[in-house]
Amino acid sequence: MKKLAVIFSLLTVILVINLCNFKCVLCALEFFESDMPIYSIYDENFNLLFERDEVEIGDSYMSNDFKYYEIIYLDKESHKGIAKFVRNVEKPKIEKSYLPAPIKIEKRTICMYMTHNDESYVPSDGVDSVYGNGGIKDVALALKSELEKNMINVYLDDTLHIPHDSQAYSRSLKTAKNLISKYSPDAIFDIHRDGASRKYYVSNINGKEHGRVRIVVGKANPNMKLNEEFATYLMAVGNELYPWLFTDIYYARGHYNQELSSKAILFEMGSHLCEKELLLSSMKELSEVITTSLYNTTINNSSGELTINGIEDKENKVINKVLESKENNKSELFAISIVIILSAGVCVSTFFVFYKNLKNKKVGNKR
Protein backbone atom coordinates (compact mmCIF):
# COMPACT_ATOMS: atom_id res chain seq x y z
CA MET A 1 0.00 0.00 0.00
CA LYS A 2 2.84 2.39 0.81
CA LYS A 3 4.40 1.74 -2.60
CA LEU A 4 1.08 2.47 -4.27
CA ALA A 5 0.76 5.69 -2.27
CA VAL A 6 4.26 6.79 -3.33
CA ILE A 7 3.54 5.97 -6.98
CA PHE A 8 0.22 7.83 -6.79
CA SER A 9 1.97 10.84 -5.26
CA LEU A 10 4.61 10.86 -8.02
CA LEU A 11 1.96 10.61 -10.72
CA THR A 12 0.08 13.49 -9.08
CA VAL A 13 3.22 15.65 -9.07
CA ILE A 14 3.92 14.83 -12.75
CA LEU A 15 0.31 15.64 -13.66
CA VAL A 16 0.48 19.00 -11.84
CA ILE A 17 3.76 19.90 -13.58
CA ASN A 18 2.32 19.04 -16.99
CA LEU A 19 -0.81 21.06 -16.28
CA CYS A 20 1.34 24.03 -15.28
CA ASN A 21 3.39 23.72 -18.47
CA PHE A 22 0.21 23.48 -20.52
CA LYS A 23 -1.13 26.57 -18.79
CA CYS A 24 2.10 28.42 -19.61
CA VAL A 25 1.76 27.45 -23.26
CA LEU A 26 -1.82 28.70 -23.31
CA CYS A 27 -0.73 31.97 -21.69
CA ALA A 28 1.99 32.38 -24.30
CA LEU A 29 -0.47 31.72 -27.10
CA GLU A 30 -2.92 34.15 -25.57
CA PHE A 31 -0.17 36.77 -25.38
CA PHE A 32 0.82 36.24 -29.00
CA GLU A 33 -2.70 35.98 -30.43
CA SER A 34 -3.86 38.64 -32.85
CA ASP A 35 -5.28 41.18 -30.42
CA MET A 36 -2.86 43.95 -31.37
CA PRO A 37 -4.65 47.25 -32.06
CA ILE A 38 -4.67 48.17 -35.74
CA TYR A 39 -4.97 51.88 -36.50
CA SER A 40 -6.91 53.13 -39.51
CA ILE A 41 -5.54 56.48 -40.69
CA TYR A 42 -7.73 58.82 -42.74
CA ASP A 43 -7.05 62.03 -44.65
CA GLU A 44 -8.77 65.28 -43.67
CA ASN A 45 -11.74 64.36 -45.89
CA PHE A 46 -12.08 61.02 -44.02
CA ASN A 47 -10.84 58.87 -46.89
CA LEU A 48 -8.95 55.82 -45.65
CA LEU A 49 -5.23 56.15 -46.36
CA PHE A 50 -3.59 53.19 -44.66
CA GLU A 51 -3.50 50.80 -41.71
CA ARG A 52 -0.72 49.99 -39.27
CA ASP A 53 -0.38 48.72 -35.71
CA GLU A 54 2.48 50.98 -34.59
CA VAL A 55 1.82 54.65 -35.33
CA GLU A 56 2.73 57.93 -33.66
CA ILE A 57 1.76 61.55 -34.16
CA GLY A 58 4.45 63.01 -36.40
CA ASP A 59 4.93 59.83 -38.45
CA SER A 60 4.64 60.33 -42.19
CA TYR A 61 3.34 58.31 -45.10
CA MET A 62 3.81 58.44 -48.86
CA SER A 63 1.23 56.64 -50.97
CA ASN A 64 2.33 54.70 -54.01
CA ASP A 65 1.12 57.59 -56.15
CA PHE A 66 3.63 59.83 -54.33
CA LYS A 67 1.34 61.87 -52.09
CA TYR A 68 2.96 62.76 -48.76
CA TYR A 69 0.98 62.95 -45.48
CA GLU A 70 1.78 63.50 -41.80
CA ILE A 71 -0.19 62.06 -38.87
CA ILE A 72 -1.66 64.88 -36.77
CA TYR A 73 -4.24 63.10 -34.60
CA LEU A 74 -4.72 59.66 -33.02
CA ASP A 75 -7.62 58.33 -30.96
CA LYS A 76 -6.25 55.59 -28.70
CA GLU A 77 -9.70 54.18 -27.96
CA SER A 78 -11.17 53.86 -31.46
CA HIS A 79 -7.74 53.27 -33.05
CA LYS A 80 -8.40 55.84 -35.73
CA GLY A 81 -6.33 58.80 -36.78
CA ILE A 82 -6.04 61.75 -39.15
CA ALA A 83 -3.13 62.57 -41.45
CA LYS A 84 -2.88 65.93 -43.17
CA PHE A 85 -1.83 66.21 -46.79
CA VAL A 86 1.58 67.91 -47.01
CA ARG A 87 2.64 67.83 -50.65
CA ASN A 88 2.80 65.97 -53.92
CA VAL A 89 6.26 64.41 -54.14
CA GLU A 90 7.86 64.75 -57.54
CA LYS A 91 7.82 61.26 -58.98
CA PRO A 92 11.05 60.26 -60.72
CA LYS A 93 10.63 60.33 -64.49
CA ILE A 94 11.15 56.81 -65.69
CA GLU A 95 11.30 55.00 -69.00
CA LYS A 96 12.21 51.55 -70.22
CA SER A 97 14.96 50.82 -72.70
CA TYR A 98 14.38 47.95 -75.08
CA LEU A 99 17.92 47.95 -76.45
CA PRO A 100 20.03 44.91 -75.58
CA ALA A 101 22.05 45.77 -72.48
CA PRO A 102 25.74 44.87 -72.38
CA ILE A 103 26.68 41.81 -70.37
CA LYS A 104 28.01 42.82 -66.94
CA ILE A 105 30.42 40.79 -64.88
CA GLU A 106 30.31 42.34 -61.42
CA LYS A 107 30.10 41.29 -57.83
CA ARG A 108 26.63 41.76 -56.40
CA THR A 109 26.00 41.36 -52.69
CA ILE A 110 22.94 41.85 -50.51
CA CYS A 111 22.62 41.10 -46.79
CA MET A 112 19.45 40.44 -44.81
CA TYR A 113 18.48 39.92 -41.19
CA MET A 114 15.34 39.97 -39.03
CA THR A 115 15.12 42.25 -36.01
CA HIS A 116 11.78 40.68 -35.03
CA ASN A 117 12.47 37.01 -35.74
CA ASP A 118 9.28 36.00 -33.91
CA GLU A 119 6.87 37.55 -36.42
CA SER A 120 4.51 35.07 -38.05
CA TYR A 121 1.29 34.74 -40.03
CA VAL A 122 -1.84 33.64 -38.19
CA PRO A 123 -3.61 31.81 -41.07
CA SER A 124 -0.49 29.78 -41.89
CA ASP A 125 1.51 29.59 -38.66
CA GLY A 126 -1.39 29.47 -36.18
CA VAL A 127 -0.16 32.49 -34.17
CA ASP A 128 1.21 35.91 -35.01
CA SER A 129 4.45 35.38 -33.05
CA VAL A 130 6.59 32.58 -31.66
CA TYR A 131 9.52 32.64 -29.28
CA GLY A 132 12.17 31.96 -31.91
CA ASN A 133 12.23 32.04 -35.70
CA GLY A 134 8.67 32.60 -36.88
CA GLY A 135 7.10 32.50 -40.32
CA ILE A 136 8.95 35.65 -41.35
CA LYS A 137 12.11 33.57 -41.76
CA ASP A 138 10.38 31.50 -44.46
CA VAL A 139 9.63 34.70 -46.36
CA ALA A 140 13.22 35.93 -45.94
CA LEU A 141 14.52 32.60 -47.24
CA ALA A 142 12.20 32.84 -50.25
CA LEU A 143 13.50 36.34 -51.08
CA LYS A 144 17.08 35.12 -50.68
CA SER A 145 16.44 32.26 -53.09
CA GLU A 146 14.88 34.54 -55.72
CA LEU A 147 17.67 37.12 -55.47
CA GLU A 148 20.28 34.40 -55.90
CA LYS A 149 18.61 33.44 -59.19
CA ASN A 150 19.49 36.97 -60.32
CA MET A 151 23.23 36.32 -59.82
CA ILE A 152 23.37 38.07 -56.43
CA ASN A 153 25.32 36.78 -53.44
CA VAL A 154 22.86 36.89 -50.56
CA TYR A 155 23.76 36.46 -46.89
CA LEU A 156 20.86 35.95 -44.50
CA ASP A 157 21.74 36.12 -40.80
CA ASP A 158 19.05 34.44 -38.68
CA THR A 159 20.54 35.45 -35.32
CA LEU A 160 17.72 35.75 -32.79
CA HIS A 161 17.00 39.22 -31.36
CA ILE A 162 14.12 38.21 -29.11
CA PRO A 163 12.22 39.23 -27.13
CA HIS A 164 10.15 41.53 -29.32
CA ASP A 165 10.70 44.67 -27.26
CA SER A 166 12.13 48.20 -27.47
CA GLN A 167 15.69 46.86 -27.26
CA ALA A 168 15.38 44.50 -30.23
CA TYR A 169 16.93 47.05 -32.61
CA SER A 170 19.87 47.53 -30.28
CA ARG A 171 20.45 43.79 -30.40
CA SER A 172 20.05 43.57 -34.18
CA LEU A 173 22.43 46.52 -34.65
CA LYS A 174 25.31 44.20 -33.83
CA THR A 175 24.09 41.72 -36.45
CA ALA A 176 23.77 44.42 -39.11
CA LYS A 177 27.23 45.82 -38.33
CA ASN A 178 28.78 42.35 -38.56
CA LEU A 179 27.14 41.72 -41.94
CA ILE A 180 28.36 45.04 -43.35
CA SER A 181 31.87 44.56 -41.94
CA LYS A 182 32.16 41.02 -43.30
CA TYR A 183 30.50 41.31 -46.71
CA SER A 184 30.40 45.04 -47.69
CA PRO A 185 26.95 44.60 -49.25
CA ASP A 186 25.40 46.82 -51.89
CA ALA A 187 22.24 46.89 -49.74
CA ILE A 188 21.05 45.52 -46.42
CA PHE A 189 17.41 44.65 -45.65
CA ASP A 190 15.63 44.11 -42.34
CA ILE A 191 12.73 41.72 -43.01
CA HIS A 192 9.49 42.16 -41.03
CA ARG A 193 5.77 41.59 -41.30
CA ASP A 194 3.26 44.30 -40.39
CA GLY A 195 0.13 44.50 -38.27
CA ALA A 196 -2.86 45.45 -40.42
CA SER A 197 -5.99 43.94 -41.92
CA ARG A 198 -5.66 41.29 -44.58
CA LYS A 199 -7.41 43.39 -47.21
CA TYR A 200 -4.82 46.16 -46.94
CA TYR A 201 -1.97 43.81 -47.83
CA VAL A 202 -3.68 41.61 -50.43
CA SER A 203 -4.21 42.72 -53.99
CA ASN A 204 -6.47 40.89 -56.44
CA ILE A 205 -5.25 41.07 -60.04
CA ASN A 206 -7.40 39.29 -62.62
CA GLY A 207 -8.78 36.96 -59.99
CA LYS A 208 -5.38 36.10 -58.48
CA GLU A 209 -4.40 37.31 -55.01
CA HIS A 210 -0.95 38.76 -54.34
CA GLY A 211 0.76 39.65 -51.06
CA ARG A 212 1.99 43.25 -50.89
CA VAL A 213 5.01 44.94 -49.30
CA ARG A 214 5.50 48.19 -47.36
CA ILE A 215 8.80 50.10 -47.29
CA VAL A 216 9.72 51.71 -43.95
CA VAL A 217 12.22 54.57 -43.55
CA GLY A 218 13.45 55.72 -40.14
CA LYS A 219 13.24 59.49 -39.59
CA ALA A 220 15.72 59.43 -36.68
CA ASN A 221 18.88 58.47 -38.55
CA PRO A 222 21.45 60.70 -40.31
CA ASN A 223 21.11 58.70 -43.54
CA MET A 224 17.38 59.41 -43.77
CA LYS A 225 17.55 61.43 -47.02
CA LEU A 226 19.60 58.79 -48.83
CA ASN A 227 17.42 55.97 -47.44
CA GLU A 228 14.37 57.89 -48.66
CA GLU A 229 15.93 58.34 -52.09
CA PHE A 230 16.55 54.61 -52.38
CA ALA A 231 13.02 53.83 -51.18
CA THR A 232 11.60 56.25 -53.74
CA TYR A 233 13.55 54.60 -56.55
CA LEU A 234 12.36 51.17 -55.43
CA MET A 235 8.74 52.27 -55.46
CA ALA A 236 9.09 54.05 -58.81
CA VAL A 237 10.60 50.98 -60.48
CA GLY A 238 8.12 48.73 -58.68
CA ASN A 239 5.20 50.79 -60.00
CA GLU A 240 6.50 50.29 -63.53
CA LEU A 241 7.06 46.55 -63.25
CA TYR A 242 4.38 45.44 -60.76
CA PRO A 243 2.03 48.29 -59.76
CA TRP A 244 0.33 46.11 -57.12
CA LEU A 245 3.53 45.24 -55.21
CA PHE A 246 4.19 48.21 -52.89
CA THR A 247 1.53 49.65 -50.60
CA ASP A 248 3.46 52.80 -49.62
CA ILE A 249 6.52 54.20 -47.89
CA TYR A 250 6.06 54.71 -44.15
CA TYR A 251 8.26 57.18 -42.27
CA ALA A 252 8.46 56.20 -38.60
CA ARG A 253 10.28 57.92 -35.75
CA GLY A 254 12.86 55.20 -35.18
CA HIS A 255 16.28 54.78 -36.78
CA TYR A 256 15.94 51.04 -37.62
CA ASN A 257 19.74 50.73 -37.98
CA GLN A 258 19.49 52.58 -41.29
CA GLU A 259 22.31 54.92 -40.31
CA LEU A 260 24.66 52.08 -41.33
CA SER A 261 24.02 52.42 -45.07
CA SER A 262 22.34 54.61 -47.68
CA LYS A 263 20.73 51.43 -48.99
CA ALA A 264 19.41 50.07 -45.70
CA ILE A 265 15.69 49.37 -45.96
CA LEU A 266 13.04 47.80 -43.73
CA PHE A 267 10.48 45.71 -45.61
CA GLU A 268 7.09 44.85 -44.10
CA MET A 269 6.11 41.60 -45.84
CA GLY A 270 2.36 41.65 -45.57
CA SER A 271 0.30 41.50 -42.38
CA HIS A 272 -0.06 39.00 -39.55
CA LEU A 273 -3.54 38.25 -40.96
CA CYS A 274 -2.26 37.35 -44.45
CA GLU A 275 -1.57 33.82 -45.60
CA LYS A 276 2.18 33.37 -45.63
CA GLU A 277 1.95 31.64 -48.99
CA LEU A 278 0.78 34.91 -50.61
CA LEU A 279 3.98 36.63 -49.51
CA LEU A 280 6.14 33.70 -50.49
CA SER A 281 4.73 33.89 -54.01
CA SER A 282 5.43 37.65 -54.21
CA MET A 283 9.15 37.33 -53.52
CA LYS A 284 9.93 36.66 -57.18
CA GLU A 285 8.49 40.04 -58.14
CA LEU A 286 10.13 41.82 -55.22
CA SER A 287 13.52 40.31 -56.10
CA GLU A 288 13.10 41.50 -59.68
CA VAL A 289 12.31 45.04 -58.53
CA ILE A 290 15.31 45.08 -56.17
CA THR A 291 17.67 43.72 -58.83
CA THR A 292 16.37 46.05 -61.53
CA SER A 293 16.53 49.08 -59.24
CA LEU A 294 20.04 48.51 -57.92
CA TYR A 295 21.86 47.15 -60.93
CA ASN A 296 19.83 47.70 -64.11
CA THR A 297 18.33 51.18 -63.76
CA THR A 298 20.42 54.23 -64.61
CA ILE A 299 20.06 57.82 -63.40
CA ASN A 300 20.90 60.70 -65.70
CA ASN A 301 23.27 63.14 -63.95
CA SER A 302 21.59 66.20 -65.47
CA SER A 303 17.88 65.40 -65.55
CA GLY A 304 17.63 62.77 -62.79
CA GLU A 305 15.56 60.65 -65.18
CA LEU A 306 15.55 56.89 -64.58
CA THR A 307 15.97 54.37 -67.38
CA ILE A 308 15.14 50.74 -66.70
CA ASN A 309 17.70 48.55 -68.48
CA GLY A 310 19.65 51.72 -69.24
CA ILE A 311 23.24 51.66 -70.51
CA GLU A 312 25.93 53.19 -68.31
CA ASP A 313 28.09 56.02 -69.64
CA LYS A 314 29.54 59.30 -68.34
CA GLU A 315 26.09 60.85 -67.88
CA ASN A 316 24.20 57.76 -66.71
CA LYS A 317 25.07 55.55 -63.74
CA VAL A 318 23.13 52.73 -62.09
CA ILE A 319 21.28 53.54 -58.85
CA ASN A 320 23.64 51.40 -56.78
CA LYS A 321 26.69 53.43 -57.86
CA VAL A 322 24.94 56.81 -57.59
CA LEU A 323 23.86 56.23 -53.97
CA GLU A 324 27.24 54.74 -53.11
CA SER A 325 28.97 57.83 -54.49
CA LYS A 326 26.67 60.15 -52.52
CA GLU A 327 27.32 58.19 -49.33
CA ASN A 328 31.10 58.36 -49.88
CA ASN A 329 30.91 62.10 -50.53
CA LYS A 330 28.92 62.55 -47.35
CA SER A 331 31.53 60.61 -45.37
CA GLU A 332 34.34 62.65 -46.92
CA LEU A 333 32.61 65.92 -46.07
CA PHE A 334 32.13 64.73 -42.50
CA ALA A 335 35.81 63.78 -42.25
CA ILE A 336 36.87 67.16 -43.67
CA SER A 337 34.60 68.93 -41.18
CA ILE A 338 36.21 67.02 -38.30
CA VAL A 339 39.70 67.92 -39.55
CA ILE A 340 38.73 71.60 -39.83
CA ILE A 341 37.24 71.62 -36.33
CA LEU A 342 40.30 69.88 -34.85
CA SER A 343 42.66 72.21 -36.75
CA ALA A 344 40.75 75.23 -35.50
CA GLY A 345 40.98 73.87 -31.97
CA VAL A 346 44.75 73.38 -32.29
CA CYS A 347 45.15 76.92 -33.65
CA VAL A 348 43.15 78.41 -30.79
CA SER A 349 45.10 76.38 -28.22
CA THR A 350 48.44 77.40 -29.79
CA PHE A 351 47.44 81.05 -29.83
CA PHE A 352 46.31 80.85 -26.19
CA VAL A 353 49.63 79.27 -25.12
CA PHE A 354 51.62 81.85 -27.16
CA TYR A 355 49.61 84.73 -25.69
CA LYS A 356 50.03 83.41 -22.15
CA ASN A 357 53.79 83.01 -22.60
CA LEU A 358 54.08 86.49 -24.09
CA LYS A 359 52.11 87.96 -21.21
CA ASN A 360 54.27 86.16 -18.65
CA LYS A 361 57.40 87.39 -20.43
CA LYS A 362 56.22 91.02 -20.24
CA VAL A 363 55.48 90.64 -16.54
CA GLY A 364 58.97 89.22 -15.99
CA ASN A 365 60.61 92.10 -17.83
CA LYS A 366 58.78 94.63 -15.67
CA ARG A 367 60.18 92.95 -12.56
Tell me the per-residue pLDDT of 255-282, one tens digit each, with 9 for 90 and over: 999 999 999 999 999 999 999 999 999 9
Mean pLDDT along residues 126-132: 95
pTM assigned to the model: 0.82
Tens-digit pLDDT profile for residues 273-310: 999 999 999 999 999 999 999 999 999 999 999 999 99
**pLDDT score recorded for residue 98:** 86
For 34, 41, 43, 65, 66, the CA distances from 46, given in Å and listed in that order, are 26, 9, 5, 18, 19
**pLDDT score recorded for residue 29:** 36
**pLDDT score recorded for residue 23:** 35
For 26, 158, 214, the CA distances from 279, given in Å and listed in that order, are 28, 19, 12
- Enumerate residues 6+ apart whose C-beta is below 8 A from 246: 64, 212, 213, 214, 215, 234, 235, 238, 239
Nearest to 32 by CA among 113, 120, 160: 120
Whole-number mean pLDDT of the chain?
86
Nearest-angstrom CA–CA distance, 212 and 254? 23
Number of Cβ within a 10 Å radius of residue 28: 14
C-beta separation of 264 from 280 below 8 A: no
Tens-digit pLDDT profile for residues 35-66: 679 999 999 999 999 999 999 999 999 999 99
